Structure 1
Amino acid sequence: MVTVIILAGGVGSRVGAGRPKQFVEVLGKPVLAYTIEIFQNNPQIDAIEVVCHKKWKEYLTGMIEQYGLSKVKWIADGGDTFQDSVMGGINNLKDKIKPDDYVMIQYGAAPFTSDKIVNDVIRVMKDKGSAITATPCYQLLGSNDENATSKTWVDRDKYIQIACPYGFRFDYLLNVYKRAKEKGLIEKVEPYTTSLMYALGDRLYQAYGDQTNIKITTKEDLALFEGYVLLQQRKMKL
């Protein structure tokens, strides 16, 4: 069984729309609905859990019904931080799925993710026990030095860009957070599951990623996604 945890617990909105970015509407539909549909329409996905801010749970329930998002089986309460939300989502699943089932983690405001990315994360996590979406660094990289200068060239081939979705066997994901909590890492490292894995010395296995798989953060990202949706709609009509 493959379950997707979609994180929609944030309340901040740098896009300036007066609501969390995952609930901003693009062509009349919330960004979060587009994100959920990626997994709703993928035959390899069995169930979806949405981790949502308490103030938006009623809105979310209506959205799920409106767009026929039948794979959404559970809604969990979001936390104050990324890690709180992930742990809330994990804990809510403990009595609902098996240790040897698989769990993916996705941002609610990441609606660009393609089936190619999802399918490769599933392939790698089933083979290795975990997977991250990894994109090569295509542009020239350099150091960020004082007074807005750059003095050192960085070999981009030695680095990757990491994005969601991540994928894990459920018992391994539980173990990551158990060990991180025992070592006091939850509040100390950058707030991502992958950051905890690095801090614990675990190996991260790479799955396919590409430059279109961005997370919406700014007004420009919203405009880019609107253009992307219009392009997809045009292709369907051809």
Structure 2
Amino acid sequence: MNNIAIIFAGGSGTRLVNSENKIPKQFLKIYGKPIIIYTLQLFEEHSLIDKIYIAIHPDYYDFAKDLVKRYHITKVAGVVKGGASSQESIYNALKLAQSENSNDDIVLIHDGVRPNITSEVITKNIECARKNGNAITCTLCFETILVSENSKNPDHVPCRKNTYRAQAPQTFKLGEIISAHDEIRKINPNYNDIVDSCTLFHALKKDTYMAEGNRGNIKITTIEDLYILRALIRYKEDMEVFGRE
């Protein structure tokens, strides 16, 4: 069975785009390299990943294909144009993957702007999905979580030791995640309130399983996240240098 990475980067990154910066966040450069390339290289260099499929913003389709060639991301098997939502973009990439692979293959669905997962997290996802059928990358919450319907008063305060942050990758058998998408699209074609594959599965009352993630696995959403990413990349590079010494 193949292990396939589905990288979705179809958004425009409106929270980072301004009048001076019209480039979607996945193409912003950190130390001279686009964020999406940092992400792709994690899967390119992982020994258990066989193929990569990318869903990209339609306006940047050719640009993304050029980046893949320029940075020698050789495991990319296909690039598709993203849809109206992140879930639509993921579905487009999954359908392309399905046309060329087995339904029993494992797919790791990952944000193009989440470039700081570790190799160990990728491995844990594959192992968990092979054992249990799927894997949701999670980290324990260190802060108190409040649930509020009106954004003013907490309706519920869950016990912190039982709260986790769902991240990515989120990993499934290819045929099962496509079937889940097909079910949702019949009753909720616009994916309303479906923010990731985990919520998609839970909307259908399907069981999911957790795989432990790493604390630095941030999704680049705001300008503050860019500063954090710069620090994380520099820290990782320093540790590699010190390790060789």
Q: TM-score scaled to structure 1, two decimals?
A: 0.93
Taking only the aligned residue pairs, the percentage that are identical comes to: 25
Aligned to 1:234: 238
Instruction: Check the 8 A contact 1:106/1:165 in 2, yes or no.
Output: yes
Question: Compared with structure 1, are the counterparts of its residues 83 and 234 closer, same or farther at alpha carbon in structure 2 (3 Å cutoff)?
Answer: same
Deviates more, 1:136-145 or 1:105-114: 136-145
Equivalents in 2 of 1:228, 1:20: separation in Å?
A: 21
Q: Output the CA distance in 2 between the equivalents of 1:152 and 1:176.
A: 30
Partner of 1:6: 7
1:133 is matched with 137
CA contact (8 A) 1:9 1:77 kept: yes
CA contact (8 A) 2:98 2:174 kept: no
**Matches of 1:66 and 1:97 in 2, distance apart?**
26
Unmatched runs of 5 consecutive residues or more in structure 1: none
Residue 63 of structure 2 corresponds to: 59
Q: Secondary structure at the match of 1:62?
A: helix
CA change 1:66–1:203 in 2 (3 A) is same
* Letter of the structure 2 residue corresponding to residue 59 of structure 1: F
Distance 1:190 1:55, change over 3 A: same
2:43 aligns to what? 39
Residues 186 and 195 of structure 1: is their aligned pair in 2 closer, same or farther, counting only changes over 3 Å? farther
In the TM superposition, 1:140-219 aligns within 5 A as 140-144=144-148, 148=152, 150=154, 153-184=157-188, 186-219=190-223
Matches of 1:145 and 1:6, distance apart in 2: 32
Cα 1:62/1:185, change in 2 over 3 Å: closer
Is the alpha carbon distance of 1:182 and 1:144 closer, same or farther for their aligned partners in structure 2, counting shifts above 3 Å? closer
Q: Residue 112 of structure 1: SS of its match in structure 2? A: coil
Q: Deviations over 1:7-64 (max 9, x none)?
A: 0111133223321111000010000000001100100000101111121122112211
Query: Normalized against structure 2, the TM-score is what?
Result: 0.90
CA contact (8 A) 2:148 2:154 kept: yes
Aligned equivalent of 2:73: 69
Partner-residue secondary structure (3-state), 1:168: strand
Q: Partner amino acid for 1:8?
A: A
Task: Give the whole-Å Cα distance in 1 for the aligned partners of 2:239 and 2:50.
Answer: 28
Shift of 1:143: 4.5
Structure 2: distance between partners of 1:193 and 1:151: 26
Q: How many residues end up aligned between the 2 structures?
A: 238
Matches of 2:55 and 2:149, distance apart in 1: 38
8 Å Cα contact 1:136/1:210 also seen in 2: no
> 1:186, CA displacement in angstroms?
4.9
